[in-house]
Chains A and B, each alone.
Chain A
Amino acid sequence: MILLPKITRRRALIGSLGLTGLALAGCDKIAGSDSVSRVLSAGEAFTRTSQRLVLGKNAPLAREYKASDISPNFKANGTVQPETDVYKQAQGDNFATWRLGVFGLVTKPLSLSLAELQRLPARTQITRHDCVEGWSAIGGWTGVPLGLLLQAAGMQPSARYAVFHCADLYDGDPYYESIDLIDAFHPQTLLAYAMNGSPLSVAHGAPLRLRLERQLGYKQAKYVMGVELVDSFARLGKGKGGYWEDNGYEWYAGI
Chain B
Amino acid sequence: MTAPTIDEAPAVSEPQTASGRRERVGRDGRTQIYRHTVWVRVGHWLNVLALTLLLFSGLQIFNAHPHLYWGQYGANAAAGPDHAWLSIDATRDKAGKDHGTVRMGQLTIRTTGVFGVSKRADGSTSYRAFPRWMTVPGYTDLSQGRHFHFFFAWIFVLNGLVFWAYGFLSRHFQRDIAPTAPDLRGIGRSIVDHVKLKHPTGEAATRYNVLQKLAYIAVIFVFLPGMVLTGLTMSPGFDAFFPWLLDLFGGRQSARSLHFICAGLTVGFIIVHLVEVMLAGPINEVRSIITGWYGIRPDHPVAPPPVEETPAVEARP
Which A residues fall within an 8 A CB radius of B?
4, 6-9, 12, 24, 27-28, 31-32, 37, 39-44, 46-47, 51, 54-55, 60-63, 65, 69, 71-75, 128, 130-138, 213-216, 244, 247-250, 254-255
Q: A74 CA to B142 CA in the complex, in Å?
A: 22
- State whether A254 touches B238 (Cβ < 8 A): yes
Contacts of B240 in A (CB 8 A): 55, 60-63, 213-214
Q: A132 CA to B142 CA in the complex, in Å?
A: 9
A/B interface sample: 28 pairs, CB < 8 A: A7-B3, A24-B133, A27-B137, A32-B141, A40-B148, A41-B147, A42-B151, A43-B151, A47-B150, A51-B235, A62-B240, A69-B73, A72-B80, A72-B81, A73-B81, A73-B82, A128-B72, A130-B234, A132-B142, A133-B65, A133-B142, A135-B75, A136-B73, A137-B75, A248-B141, A250-B143, A254-B238, A255-B237
Query: Is the C-beta of B125 less than 8 angstroms from some C-beta in chain A?
Result: no
- State whether A65 touches B72 (Cβ < 8 A): yes
Among B76-121, those with CB < 8 Å from A are 76, 80-82
Q: How many residues in B have their beta carbons less than 8 Å from beta carbons of A?
A: 52
Contacts of B137 in A (CB 8 A): 27-28, 31-32
Known contacts A6-B3, A73-B75, A215-B236: does B150 contact A27 (CB below 8 Å)? no
Which residue from chain B places its CB closest to the CB of A135 in the assembled complex? Answer: B75
Contacts of B82 in A (CB 8 A): 71-73
Known contacts A43-B154, A62-B236, A215-B236: does B65 contact A135 (CB below 8 Å)? yes
Q: A130 CA to B234 CA in the complex, in Å?
A: 8
Closest 5 CB pairs of A and B: A254-B237, A43-B151, A248-B143, A135-B75, A31-B137
Q: A27 CA to B253 CA in the complex, in Å?
A: 31
Query: Is the C-beta of B24 less than 8 angstroms from some C-beta in chain A?
Result: no
- State whether A71 touches B75 (Cβ < 8 A): yes
Find B73's partner among A6, A31, A60, A138 (CB 8 Å cutoff).
A138
Find A7's partner among B143, B238, B283 (CB 8 Å cutoff).
B283
